Copies of this chain bind each other. A is one copy, B any other.
Amino acid sequence: MPKFMDIHRNMKGLTAEQLREAHQADLDIQGEEGVTFEHAWADTDSGEVFCLSEAPSADAVQRIHERAGHKADEVHQLTLSV
């Protein structure tokens, strides 16, 4: 299953509780698209959130994020990994 890194920008000041809730909203529906979100990390100073997932496609990742209320700004398929 391909891996993906997606990026959400302009999230400065995000709290731990907000990140947990947003991530849980993804987890609650990810199975409907065959997506597995593995980690989410935030740089709360500059406002980026990075999500690592396994999924059948970038569109599947984006559909889950959109339905959960937080569309990603970029979704990258990770074609190489070390």
Decide if A10 is an interface residue (CB 8 Å cutoff). Answer: no
Q: Is the CB of B45 within 8 A of A79?
A: yes
Number of interface residues of A (CB under 8 A): 24
Question: A80 → chain B, closest Cβ, in Å?
Answer: 4
Q: Is the CB of B82 within 8 A of A20?
A: yes
Which residue of B is nearest A52, CB measured? B41
Interface string of A66-82 (1 = CB under 8 A from B): 00000000001111111
Complex Cα–Cα for A71 and B50 (A): 20
Question: A76 → chain B, closest Cβ, in Å?
Answer: 4
- Residue pairs across A and B with Cβ atoms less than 8 A apart, 5 shown, are A5-B43, A39-B81, A40-B81, A42-B78, A50-B50
Write the residues of chain A forming the contact surface with B, with a CB cutoff of 8 angstroms.
Answer: 3, 5, 14, 16, 19-20, 23, 39-46, 48, 50, 76-82
